Amino acid sequence: MKQIFVFTAGIVLMASACTAPRNTATKTMNTGNTTNAEAGWISLFDGRTLIGWHPYQNKNPHNWEARDGVLHCAGSGDNTSATHADLVTNDTFQNFELSIDWKISPKGNSGVLYLVQETMPAAYQTGPEYQLIDDANFPEKLEDWQKTGANYAMNTAPAAKPAPVGEWNHTRIIVSNNHVEHWLNGDKIVEYELGNDDWNARKAAGKWKDTPEYGMSNSGHIALQDHGSEAWFKEIKIRKL
């Protein structure tokens, strides 16, 4: 998640931008990813190194380490974006199912972003975000669109049942053409269509109204967010649909 704040009118895009054709990024699979024993799955994390990943736009020193099968974001301890460095896949993906396990620190805040382009100052300005946060103990008031599993600033996830903070959760994100699903611990919690009337209306009524690049690509990077909090990720794999 980005900055926490409350908005009233909020986000959006001009209707012409909402309906603009989506860009298509080229998928490459040449970064040392390993094929999972399960047919069709590709591991995005070897459990030991950051091979296949880089800091967003390679701009900032990153706060990430790989150890004992876990990608750990040490965080910076504050919400100053200048100290953050999202971790981004070298590869881009179109029409996929992403599977990932994660846990968050007390009062922590993070996210998994997808369809990300490295064209804007921050990953969340182009890619939708599956929100990860300590709903119960976050030090600021959260809107429903800021809570765990939500499509950040777009779709709430009222049925989400995250594990207690410090315990592992299992997330799946499915992108099939313009159809997107968020799953948490075996339950589907968000479902939406990129670019349909409802999506355009949400974009035009909220945080992304002045961010025409948001959600406009049907292919892009996966990004793990550094929002200043500790977060842990493992069993990161993807398969083409």
The predicted model gives 170-197 an average pLDDT of 98
pLDDT beyond 80 at 199: yes
- Per-residue pLDDT band at 19 (split at 50, 70, 90): very low
Contacts with 124 (C-beta within 8 Å, 6 or more apart), sequence order: 1, 2, 111, 113, 152, 225
**Does residue 27 belong to any structural domain of this protein?**
no
> Do 18 and 215 touch, CB atoms closer than 8 A?
no
- Please compute the mean of the pLDDT values over residues 115-138 and round it to a whole number: 97
Give me the pLDDT at residue 59, please: 87
Quick one: pLDDT at residue 61? 76
Q: Is residue 148 part of a domain?
A: yes
Residue 22 belongs to some domain of the structure: no
Domain total for the chain?
A: 1
**Range scoring the smallest mean pLDDT among 17-21, 45-49, 159-163:** 17-21
Residue 123's pLDDT is 96
Determine the pLDDT at residue 82: 62
pLDDT at 218 over 80: yes
Average predicted confidence (pLDDT) for the chain: 86
Summarize pLDDT for 71-123 with one digit per residue, the tens. Answer: 999 987 665 566 678 999 999 999 999 999 999 999 999 999 999 999 999 99
**Is residue 20 a part of any domain in this protein?**
no
Centre a 10 Å sphere on the Cβ of residue 69 and count the other Cβ atoms it contains: 11
Q: Does some domain include residue 153?
A: yes
Q: Does some domain include residue 23? A: no
Q: Cα 132–50–237 angle (5° rounding)? A: 55
Residue 238 structure tokens = 């993807």
- When pLDDT is averaged across residues 130-159 and rounded to a whole number, the result is 97
Give domain status of residue 181, yes or no. yes
Q: What is the CATH number of the domain that holds 212?
A: 2.60.120.560
Instruction: Taking residues 35-61, report their average pLDDT.
Output: 88
Residue 146 has pLDDT above 50, yes or no: yes
Percent of the chain exceeding pLDDT 90 equals: 77
In the block, tokens 């009062």 appear at 107
User: What is the per-residue pLDDT for 62?
Assistant: 78
Lookup result for tokens 């002045």: 210
Domain range holding 120? 32-240
pTM value > 0.95:
no
Nearest alpha-carbon partner for 153 in 206, 216, 98, 105: 206
102 SS3 class: strand
Exposed / middle / buried, residue 60 (Cβ in 10 Å: 0-12, 13-18, 19+): middle
Nearest to 12 by CA among 154, 217, 160, 183: 154
Residue 211 in domain: yes
